[in-house]
Amino acid sequence: MTSILTLAAAIVAVALTERSAEHLLLAVAALLFNAALLLVFVGDVERAILLSGLLAVAIAGISIVKFNHSALKLTVSDLPLAFAGTVPFFVLQYPRMMLGVLTGAVLFAFASGAVVFCAAGSPLSIPYRILLFLLALIGFAAASAAKGAASLRQTLTQGRCFYSTFMVSLVDPASWRQFGALALSDIADEPLPLMEAMSARSAVTPDIIVIQHESVFDPRIFGLPVEPVVEAFLSPPDGEFGHLNVDIFGGGSWQSEFSLLTGLSSASFGSSAYYLFKKGAGRFHSSLPRSLASLGYNTTLISSCRRGFLSYDEFYSSIGIDDRVFVDELPPPFDVRRFETTNSDAMFLDAVIDAHTRRIADDPTPRFLYALTNFNHGPHDRQLVPPGQFERERAFAMASLPDAGYAEYYARLVETASAWKTLRARLANSFPGRPVLILHYGDHQPVLTKRIDRHLKRPEDGRRPFRTFYAIEALNIPHFRPGRGADLDIAFLGTVALQRAGIALDPIFATRASLLDDCGDGYFASACERKPRFHRTLVDLGLIDLMPRRERNA
C-alpha cells in the first residue's frame, strides 16, 4: 500500500511539472524507468520510487530555470555548457536565481540522503529487480517511439513537458551527435544545384555598416507604446524595417553574429551552437565578409568586448574580417575603463563612427563595418543611465508597464536611439556624396521579457521570445526603396543587406536568396525541402567543414 501511495504522489508531482496531458504517459514511463534503474541499486521499491520522483522534480526544476532564462528547455546536449563558462556567467548576472538553484540543490541532496538512510522498505531479490528494469526499459522505449524525439524537439520553446523532454533527449541520437563534433542536424543526402551568380543592379557600391544592438527588442511586440525617437530608431521612416527571428534568448550573442555572417542557423548545430566561435574557426568558408572582400571591400570589426573575449579574434579572422578592433584598442579620447562602467552606446558608437570616418577619409574603397554593442545587456535591476538623464522617458515606460527593470531597459534604448540619430546625421554630413547602407538589429531579447509576458498575460507564443527587430537605412543610394519589410530570419539578414545594397551576389548568396520565399521568416524551424539540400551542397563543396579535427590535421 505504501508503494502505491508513493507512486501516486510521484506521478502527481510529475504531472504538475509537465503541464501537459499530451506527453504525460511518456513522462510516467520515464519515471518508472528511473525507479526500476534505481531499484537495481537500492533494493526496495519504496526508496526507488521516492528517489525517482525527487529526480524528476529536480530535472523539471532545472529545465524550468533554463527555460525562464533562455526560452528553451533542458536536454542532455546542454550538459557540456555547465563546463563552458555559463555557471560563472549566471552567478555574475543573476545571483538571486543562482542562489535559488544552490538552495534547491542542497534540499535535493538532503532529501535524497534522508530517503536512502531512513525510508528503506522490503528488499526484492536480484532477479526481480532485473526483470522490473527490463520491463520498464521496454515500456519507456515504446512510449518514446510512440511520441518520438522529433515531436518533443518541436516543443523546446513551449513551457510544458519539462521532464519528458529531457528524458527523451537521452535516447535521441541527434542530441548525442553534438558531443565532441560539429554536426548539422538539417542536412539532406542529395545536394541542391546552385543558382547562377547575380550581377550588380547598380553602379553604386555603397559602404555597408552593420550594428548589432545587444539585447534590444521592439516593445511593440508586447503591445507596449514607444516614443517618436524610439519609433524612428526601430522603424525609420526613410528605411526598411520589420521583425527579426533569432535563435537565442537571454544571451549567447555570438550565435546571432554567426547566423548573420554565415547565412546559417546556429540552431542547426545543436549544443555546439554555443561553441561555434571556438569549434567553428576555420570551418566556414562562405561568409558575408568573404563575399564582400571578393568585390573589393575592406572588412572591419569593432567590438565592445576586449580582444581576449571567447575566440572572437580567431573566428572573425577565419571568416574574412581583416581588420579587427576591440574595445581595449580604441584610441584616445576613448577611455575603456570609463566605458566599461556602463558600456554606454552613446560613448561606444561615437568611437565607432570616429574610427570609421578616419578610415574612409580620402579613400574611395568601399567598406564593410560590423559593430557589436553591449549596453542593454541584462540584468536590468541596476541603473546604467545616469540619474537626471532620460527621466521623462523612464516615467513614460513606467506608466506603460509598472516595472523598474523595463523602465531601465527603455531608458537605455532611448539613449541608443538618441545617440544613433546624432551619429547618423554626422555620417551623412561628413561624406555627403558617399553611398552607405546601414543595417542595425537586435541580437536577442533580455531575460526581463519573460517577466513582461507574465505581467501582461499575453497569449502563449513559443516564437515571441525569439523575435527582435531589424532596420535598414540608406544614404545616397538611388535605387533603395523604404517601407515596411518582410519579417526575416537572421540567417537571411546578410543576404537581404546585399540585395538592398544592389551589389553582385555569388552563386552561394544567390541560392540562399532563392530560399527566402520557401523558408519564409524561419530558417531552422522551416520545413523547406531545399534548405537541407543546400546545406549538403555547402558541405560537398568544402564550404562547411564538418570533418573531425584529428582528420583535418592528418
Under 8 Å CB-to-CB from 431, ≥6 apart: which residues? Answer: 357, 360
Would you state the pLDDT for residue 187?
93
Q: 120 with 46: CB under 8 angstroms?
A: yes
Helices first, then strands: H and E counts in the chain: 24, 9
| Radius of gyration from C-alpha coordinates of the chain | 26
Which among 369, 204, 197 is positioned nearest to 288, based on CA atoms? 369
Q: 474 with 209: CB under 8 angstroms?
A: no
Would you state the pLDDT for residue 493?
97
Would you state the pLDDT for residue 175?
63
Residue 16 burial (C-beta neighbours within 10 Å; 0-12, 13-18, 19+):
exposed
Q: 210 with 369: CB under 8 angstroms?
A: yes
Q: 506 with 476: CB under 8 angstroms?
A: no
Cell of 33: 524507468
The whole-model pTM stands at 0.82
Measured CA to CA, the distance from residue 8 to residue 11 in angstroms comes to: 5
Which among 534, 512, 479, 510 is positioned nearest to 199, based on CA atoms? 510
Q: How many CA atoms lie within 13 A of 409 on its CB side?
A: 29
Q: 279 with 182: CB under 8 angstroms?
A: yes
Would you state the pLDDT for residue 323?
96
Fold (CATH) for 207-552: Alkaline Phosphatase, subunit A (3.40.720)
Task: Delimit the domains of the chain by residue range.
Answer: 2-176, 207-552
Measured CA to CA, the distance from residue 256 to residue 264 in angstroms comes to: 10
Q: In sequence order, what are the beta bridge partners of 473?
A: 438
Tens of pLDDT along the chain (554 residues)? Answer: 567 777 787 788 888 888 877 778 888 888 899 999 998 999 888 899 889 999 999 998 888 887 776 667 788 777 766 655 556 656 666 677 778 888 888 998 998 898 888 888 888 999 999 999 999 999 888 888 776 656 666 666 677 888 888 888 887 766 665 555 688 889 999 999 999 999 998 888 999 999 999 999 999 999 999 999 999 999 999 999 999 999 998 888 999 999 999 999 998 987 678 788 988 999 999 999 999 999 999 999 999 999 988 889 999 999 999 999 999 999 999 999 999 999 999 999 999 999 999 999 888 999 999 999 999 998 898 899 888 899 999 999 999 999 999 999 999 999 999 999 999 999 999 888 899 999 999 999 998 998 998 899 888 787 899 999 999 999 999 989 999 999 999 999 999 999 999 999 999 999 999 999 999 899 998 889 999 999 999 999 999 998 765 555 54
Would you state the pLDDT for residue 157?
65
